[in-house]
Structures are given as structure tokens and as C-alpha cells.
Chains A and B, each alone.
Chain A
């Protein structure tokens, strides 16, 4: 099994497309950070203009935590694309290139192959998130330094710098869980398809489609909305509530896990019996 996982990781990390994700994350985050460094004060002044007659802001509000928070907000639509770029190719790529034929005629179990590829895809997702953390915090620290975090949602909260690190790690952890769900969905589509374009586009279309439908038809879909995993993609923001408690996200986490296992087992069941015609 370990051998299989190593082989799958090797294949992922020798494919040029894998580095599109890392490159895109690097460019987007560094561009955002440089942008904030140059124009940040101006942007921030506009943002808090309406609050300045009621509050007095002191200290460095543009700091590594503030920037990391902005980056988290910005990237929630980009990262699923980058995750699907690799996970959508894991099975469909083999079908497309015809390599199923040399792979599955070896004495290996299809179940083990499916598990190994899923784990390898998850490792890629994890590394993508780690790169996000490193770039948003390390580069943010170099450019801006630490400070308190101003969070503006339906209310304004200021979290002291010694109270935000655990929140960031929890938010990134939750983000990893959500991206694992996205990866699992993309993986399922990959098993169903013989071309990796379909699973990649399909994943993005489903996420955007469900999100749009959920927003536009919110009142109509109200009874089923709690069961869509997309409803909880932005739940990482809850970790930045001053009075955060784990029960605020436990349902959200449960839904993500149900979807991950659901997608995974459908993939497993389907692929175990799939006729390899490619």
C-alpha cells in the first residue's frame, strides 16, 4: 500500500500540471500582499470610514493576520479549481492516456489503487494549503509584521494577536476538510470520465452552480440547504467569532465528512466493477 501511495505521489509530482496549482497560489498571494503593501492604507481607510465616527482605531491594523484573513476570503473560489486540477486527473488521466491497461494488468487490487490515489490527491491538497499558510503568514510577517486582527462581518470584532494563531490554524484545518470534500467529488467525477477536462470543469460547475442556486433560491431551497456541503464552504469564518465554540462548526464538519466518505465510497464501488475500455 505504501509502495502504491509513493508511486502515485511520484506521478503527481512529476506532472507539470501539478505545479500550476502551486505557481497560481504563489502568484496570487504574493500579488495580494504586494498590492496591500502599496495601496493597503488607502483601501483600509475606505473600509473603516463609516466606523471612524464611532470608533478610534490605534495600532497597525494592516498586519500579517489581517492580510492572511483577506487572503483566506479571496482564495475560497480559486483553491477548489486548483484542487480539481489534480484530483480530477487522478483516474481520468489514466483513462485518457491509456495507462490503465498497463497499470491494472499488474497484480494489484483496484481497491488499494483507489485508496492510494485518493491519499496522494489529499497530500497534494494538504501541500497546497500549507503553501497558502506559509505564504500568507511568512511573507505577511516579513512585509507587515504581527498585530491585532480586525474582523468585519455582520459585526466588528478585534482579536488580539495572541488569540488569532489557533484560529488561523483551525480555519486552515477546516479549509483543508472542505477542499478534501471538493477533491473527493472531483475524484468521483474522474472515475466516471475518460477525460480529465470533464471532472475539472464539472467540479467547478457544481460548486458554483450549487452556490448560486442556494443563494438565488435560498427561500425555496431552505429545507435542503443544510444538507449541501457548499453551504458550509465559508464556515471557516466562524473560527474568527470572538465567542467561538466548537459546537458552532460541529454540524458543518459532520456534513463535510459525510460527503467525503459518500463520494469516496461511490468512487470505490463504481471503479471496482468498471470495465476498462480505454
Chain B
């Protein structure tokens, strides 16, 4: 299967500053692909190059198998995008904004399609309101509506939950999941909010200083190696005794008056839990310390150290 996005050794330099430095990544059809990195890591620059807003210094971008530099029109007609802030012609209504963008994308039966996307993002009742009266959350939803307008195969969302309250963030995440599952749309979503990517993406790349640190399946990356798990208990002493001479002894990390830490894989959590319960240990809570956040921080720390 051909990747929808195939970036090969992409770089963008501004004088001595390397905003993107030899980045390669691949988004496959059907992916919700997380594009993760700290602020200033080159995510937005990469996305702008993907949408031909910025010219790369070197490297190649293939969208749907076509070289973007050669076949810009055909490829962009299959892409919807929302980049950073959702900005519109604020003196026009939501419907008028979509009408202008729909005409530029040559959308057939435009009026009906506008109604459709406004229903999808829950803004149909505000179609005739000027965009300047919209809240940030509403603008963000209108941004997604414009990205969907021409029925794209691929949607690129650059930090779509930025500035939204938790409810707004959840709405956007739910919408992204729905679009992927029901609309069969491939989605590239950039974020520095790690929890967000963990919640919705199936594959991801982590970048730092314009370089890809790791790319792969979110589940595999998070669960591929050991993590710390905290068991909150009444008393840690019996735990130390019951694990003596068992394989868990080597996985024991440390203890405090009300908890113990083990370094185990995700698959070992239920096994160890069952073992402790069987031995009569009363467990109040289990907290996985290792998350995407830890994984991310470990990777970026290593990169900084190198």
C-alpha cells in the first residue's frame, strides 16, 4: 500500500537555523497519525511545507504517490487542512467563508455540502453569523468544516485543540475519531499535548530540533519496553516478603510507607496484580508511571544530551 504522505529527507533552513533537518516520515491510508514534538521542534514548518506554503530547502514530499513540487494542484485537491489558528474573513458570515473556499476547491453542489459540514461540526444554526462573533472553539470547528468541505482523503490538523477548554478539546478529539472511523479519512494531527496523541492516534512520529526521533505504532512505542508501575497499598512490607525468590523480585524498584514501584511491561501488570491479590495483598490503586509523556521526555532528553 502506498503511503498518503511520504516525506523523504526534508529540510528547511533559515540561514544557519535548521527548522527542519532531514526529516522522513510516512502516513499510511487510514491512519490517525500523531505528529508530536515540543514547541519550536519544526512541526508547523513541516506542515506548511506539506501544504506548499513554504518551499523546502531540500528533500521531497510525496502526497498520494505524487511529487508535491511537480503536481501541486492534483495533490492539494485531496487534502484538507487547518493550520495553527483558525483564521477566516471575520467580516463575512460562516456560510460566506465556506462558499468562497468551496468555490476555490470547485466543490459540486456547494450549498448542500456547506450544510452537511456545518451539521458535522455543530454550527448550522450559526451559519449566518459573522465569524468575528465566534468563540475560539467555534472558529476551530469552522476550521475543521472548511477542511472537510471538498471531501478530502487526507486532513492535516496543526494543533487543533490549542487554546480550547477541556470540553472543547474533547469535542475536537471525538470529531477526529468520528471522521477517521465513519468518514474513512486519513488524519495527520500535530500536537505538543502528548495525552491527546495517546488518546486518538494509531501511529506517530516524535520530532525534536527538526529531526525524527522515532516513528511507529503508538501502542508499540509506549508498550515496547518496561515502565514503572506504582501500587498503592496499606503496607508495602508484605509485598517484599511475597516476591522474595520469585521473578518479581528482580522487577521491584523501591517502596515508600504506602506504595511500591515495579519496573514491568504493560502485559505484566495484570499478572503481577493477580499474584499480589492471591497472596492476600490489599491493593487500593495501580498507577502506570510510564506514559507517552515519559517516553517523549526520555527521547527528547536523550536527543538534548547527544
Chain A residues engaging chain B, CB cutoff 8 angstroms: 3-4, 7, 10-11, 14-16, 97-109, 273, 275-277
Contact = CB atoms under 8 A, between A and B. Distances in A.
A104 B92 CA distance: 19
Contacts of A99: 87-89
B91 A16 contact: yes
Output the residue of A15, A97, A103, A275 with the most chain B CB within 10 A.
Answer: A275
A98 B97 CA distance: 14
Interface in B34-93: 48, 51-55, 72-74, 76-77, 79, 81, 83-85, 87-92
A275 B87 contact: no
B100 A107 contact: no
A106 B100 CA distance: 11
A16 to B, nearest CB: 7
A105 B90 contact: no
B105 interface: yes
9 contacts: A99-B88, A100-B53, A101-B81, A101-B87, A105-B53, A105-B83, A106-B101, A106-B104, A106-B105
B53 A276 contact: yes
B146 interface: yes
A218 B58 CA distance: 50
Q: What are the 8 A-B residue pairs with the smallest beta carbon separation, nearest first?
A: A98-B87, A276-B53, A106-B104, A107-B77, A107-B76, A107-B73, A275-B54, A105-B51
B103 interface: yes
Size range of the interface on B? Answer: 20 to 34
Contacts, number: 71
Interface string B165-205: 00000000000000000000000000000000000000000
Given A98-B87, A99-B89, A276 B54 contact: yes
Contacts of A101: 53, 81, 83-84, 87
Given A101-B53, A107-B76, A108-B104, A276 B48 contact: yes
Contacts of B76: 105-107
Given A97-B89, A98-B87, A273 B101 contact: no
A21 B91 CA distance: 18
Nearest to A17: B91
B55 A275 contact: yes
Per DSSP, chain B at the interface is: loop
B142 to A, nearest CB: 10
A102 to B, nearest CB: 6
Contacts of B143: 102
A91 to B, nearest CB: 14
A2 to B, nearest CB: 11
Given A14-B91, A97-B87, A107-B72, A275 B53 contact: yes
A101 B159 CA distance: 14
A98 B158 CA distance: 14
A186 B81 CA distance: 31
Contacts of B48: 275-277
Contact of A14 (B52, B88, B92): B92
A102 B88 contact: yes
A142 to B, nearest CB: 35
B89 A105 contact: no
Nearest to B87: A98
Contacts of A16: 91
A99 B87 CA distance: 6
Nearest to A103: B104
Contacts of B54: 275-277
Contacts of B72: 107
B53 A102 contact: no
Given A105-B53, A106-B101, 10 more contacts: A3-B103, A14-B92, A97-B89, A100-B53, A102-B143, A104-B52, A105-B81, A105-B83, A108-B73, A109-B73
Contact of B100 (A7, A109, A273, A275): A7
A104 B48 CA distance: 10
A100 B61 CA distance: 21
A108 B83 CA distance: 17
A47 to B, nearest CB: 46
B144 to A, nearest CB: 12
Interface in B140-173: 143, 146
